[in-house]
Amino acid sequence: MSEASDAMYSTPVYAEGLPNAPVTRRFLVCQVPQQLTDLRQQLPADDLPSESLSAAEAGDAFEARLTALLQEATIGTHLYVRGDESFLWHVRAAAYQQGLMDDEISLFRTGDRRNVYCVHCSHMQDVGPGDETTCGGCGVVLTIRTHFSKRLGAYQGVCLDPDDPYGEAR
Partner 1 sequence: MAVTLNPVQTYRDDFTFRNSPEAIRRFPFPFDRDEYMYSVNIEPATPGEPGSIYEHMFDVDEHYRTEMVERAKVLEEDPRRCLLMPHMEQAGWDLLELIMTNLSHDYPELFSLSRDGDRWHWRNQALDIDQTFTFGDASTLPQEPMEYITRQMQGDFCLLDQRDGDLFMDAGMVTGPADWSMAFDAGMGFKEWHAPVPVAHELGVFERALSFLLNLQIGHPVRRLNWTMTVNPRLDTSPETFHRWGYENGIVTPENVAQVLNLRVELQLLARLPRSNAIVFSIRTYLISLEELVTNRDWACRLHRVLRDLPEELSDYKGLSDYRQTAVDWLAQFDPEASASRAG
Partner 2 sequence: MQTLSVKVADIRQITPLIREFTFVPTSGELPGFSAGSHVVVEVPAGERKQRNPYSLLSDPRDRTQYRIAVRRLDESRGGSQAMHANVDVGDHLELASPRNFFPLHSQARHHVLIAGGIGITPFMSYVAELQAHGASFELHYAYRGGLTGAFVEHLRERLGAKLHTYDSEAGEKVDIATVLREQRLGAHLYTCGPASLLEAVREQASALGWPAGRVHWEEFAAPEPGVPFSVELAKSGRRIDVPGDRSLLETLEDAGVDIDSGCRGGVCGACKTRYVEGQVEHRDEFLAEDERGTYVMPCVSRGCAERPLLLDL
Residues contributing to the site for partner 2 (CB under 8 A): 21-25, 70-71, 73-78, 98-101, 103-104
Interface region with partner 1, contact rule CB under 8 A, candidates 29-37, 58-66, 87-95, 158-166: 158-166
The CA distance from 92 to 81, in Å, is 8
> How many C-beta atoms lie closer than 10 Å to residue 16's C-beta?
9
In contact, 19 and 43? CB cutoff 8 Å: no
Residue 62 Cβ vs partner 1, minimum distance, rounded to whole Å: 24
Q: Reading across the β-sheet that carries 154-159, which strands appear in turn?
A: 124-127, 114-118, 154-159, 141-149, 132-134
Site string for partner 1, 130-149 (x = CB under 8 A): ----------x----x-x-x
Tell me which residues touch partner 1 (CB under 8 A). 8-11, 117, 119-120, 122, 140, 145, 147, 149-152, 156, 158-159, 162-163, 165
